[in-house]
Structure 1
Amino acid sequence: MSVETDRDLGAELASPRAGHRGIPVDAICTGCQTVHVKRVRPSEVTKTTDADPVTLDARALTSFKHVCYRCQTATWWNPTAVLSGLVETERAAEEDR
């Protein structure tokens, strides 16, 4: 599934609503159908925790629990895309430090 291009994914990732640790994924809330960038630990969505996040396929990932601010509760989210471009941007920023 493609990621909508009219959204600022970087800004969504920087938002506290995305979470603090993990790889960035685009995900849809199973309650209200809101789509948002979320951070998720690989161990929460795949059995292959040592895989490079850039190579992960969202269709192979499992649902994960995360806060939905629209539903105002912790709810299940379904990953629709691994945001490999954001992963690579973060890696480059870490290398520059």
Structure 2
Amino acid sequence: MSVGADRDRESELSRPTAGQVEIPVDAICVGCGRIRVKRVRLENVDQKPTVDPAALEATDLTPFKRVCHPCEGATWWKPVAVLSGLLDNEGESA
């Protein structure tokens, strides 16, 4: 399993499989160990919707359920990083 310094997280975030709303996180599938950018609602990771996403750490977030295509079904994903840099980029393009 590699964290992948050469990954293009912005490209991953733009894919429909990342989700369409809320904060971008790097998350690891507990089934296959694949790490991908996913979007997650704050409520789905036990956070209040009013919290500032840029102030969060991955350890503040609980696992959430999403589809993992290699696992061929819904699995649990564990956040490993809040991608605050991608949050900043979204604010610039808005």
TM-score normalised by structure 1 residue count: 0.89
Counterparts of 1:8 and 1:28, CA distance in 2: 16
Matches within 5 A, 1:1-97: 4-94=4-94
Percent identity over the alignment is 51
> RMSD of the alignment, in Å?
1.1
Counterparts of 1:82 and 1:46, CA distance in 2: 14
Quote the offset at 1:79 in angstroms. Answer: 0.1
TM-score normalised by structure 2 residue count: 0.92
Structure 2 portions without partners, runs of 5+: none
Q: Is the 8 A contact 1:17 1:69 kept in 2?
A: no
Counterparts of 2:11 and 2:75, CA distance in 1: 22
Quote the offset at 1:78 in angstroms. Answer: 0.1
Quote the offset at 1:20 in angstroms. Answer: 1.2
Residue type of the partner of 2:48?
T
Indicate the SS of the match to 1:43.
helix
Moved over 4 A (4+): none
Structure 1 portions without partners, runs of 5+: none
Indicate the larger mover: 48-57 or 9-18: 48-57
